[in-house]
Structure 1
Amino acid sequence: MDLIELEVTDLIWALGMMAIAIGISSWQRLGLEKQLAISTMLTVANLLLVGYVLAIVFAVKNLWSVLAILLVMLAIATVVARNRIDKKLPQLLLIVGGSILVSTALTLIYTNLLVLKPTNWYEPQYIIPLTGIVLGNAMNAAALAGERLVTAIKANQLEIETYLSLGATPQQAIARYRQEAIRASLIPTLNSMMVVGVVSLPGMMTGQILSGVDPLNAAAYQILIMFMLSFANLIAALLVSLGVYQQFFNPQAQLQV
């Protein structure tokens, strides 16, 4: 079956759904009209821009152009995750960026060396979409773990100081909160793994099927993606929670909130 290509007129008709959504928001007085309109414009502008840029990168297949795109993606993910956690913590930008970078890099290295084995590791067709998927999910996991841990430490200052006064190390004093934060960050991923393909078809698998890829091959790729996300998210949550809690203690192991 040939791929149904979308023309400009088709996208205009697709915009009709957002126009209807804006109308419903106005009718129900939800106050979402401006947000829906801005989100619609940004979606169109961002995806069209990315589409043109990727078309050039895919044609050129140059290492530096690929690295430039990956660095931009990493920078944006780092800033977004940092802002969700806490804008005041010192060195948080470096901690979040390092956590996302390490988790994404380890995941992609493992996948490229042992699973996909592409001729060139920087093959744009593979490295850019896979990095985008892993990076986005690692960003969310880092943000969830970091925000949950920061909130827990600030809300349980007395309990943590009690543990410290009894001789516990900072790591021991916040161990329970850190574990809870990591578990909370993985809940969305684990929930998705439980129902993937049964309740919903993920975007990547749906896109492949729509483009004419054999459903079994699309399912195989989706299995790979889900395992990559679980691994990357766990590493990102572990690293960012490790870095975050250390920001709350001075060299004398005293809590500073």
Structure 2
Amino acid sequence: MGAGCAANARDLGKLDRWARESSPVHALDPRAKLLAVLAFALAVVSLDKYALGEQLPFFAFPIFLWARSGVPAGLVAKRVLAVAPFAAMVGLFNPLFDTATLLTVGGVAISGGWISFVSILLRGLLTISALVLLVATTDIPKLSMAAERLGVPRIFVAQMQGLYRYLFLLADEAGRIYLAFRLRSPNAKPPSWRVYAAILGQLLLRSLERAGRVHQAMLLRGFNGEMRSVAKLEFDKRDWRFLILWLCAIAALRFLHPAPWIGDVLLKALS
């Protein structure tokens, strides 16, 4: 558990460091990126549950963000795959309940449940990859400021910033507790559920104590519920161009369904 928390904290730290790099995507206004990602996610999740082919062209958006940002593909893939099991759990029982045959490939009947299950996985990959690339190209203070400028209540913005920063402390604390356990029992077997429960209880107590100290320190420094930042947001022509072009592209992919047309063009080109 502790080793896993430390590894996750390192990955979050890598994303946080990449958010301070420089690239055409990093230079975009956070509001433009946030609106584009939200529109992308809404378009993807609103597709029909059997729409597999229609989802494939949507990969153009995360591929564009990745190609123009320089974020390592391995880092993005690792974060996406870490969340993929949760997407799989959402549609885990679809093949059991939706047994009607919708497709036959090579004499093998494929039910609607399997198609909808794969569709859920694709939606998860699309939305999670876009969100990971958003975080990897926009640091949290700027992203929080963009959310507040777009109308998100200030209390939610403050909670988001505090939660993100505290995740690093929480993972570090869990790593220290686990390391202390291993040092005291170097030859012990992997911890049992009872030991994990004790570790979690100790982690909770330490977290509550540290949270109280952090809150008192923030109050002494004049914290009044607003997360202040020296960063400034400027929406220029480049940001408008990015936002308008991608909003139009996402709307076209969602409502014009170009996948069959693209397939026909590719088949003609290959034939």
Q: Same fold (TM over 0.5)?
A: no
Higher RCO structure, 1 or 2 (CA under 8 Å, sep 6+): 2
- TM-score of the superposition, structure 2-length normalised? 0.28
Q: TM-score, normalised by structure 1?
A: 0.29
Q: Which has the larger radius of gyration?
A: 2
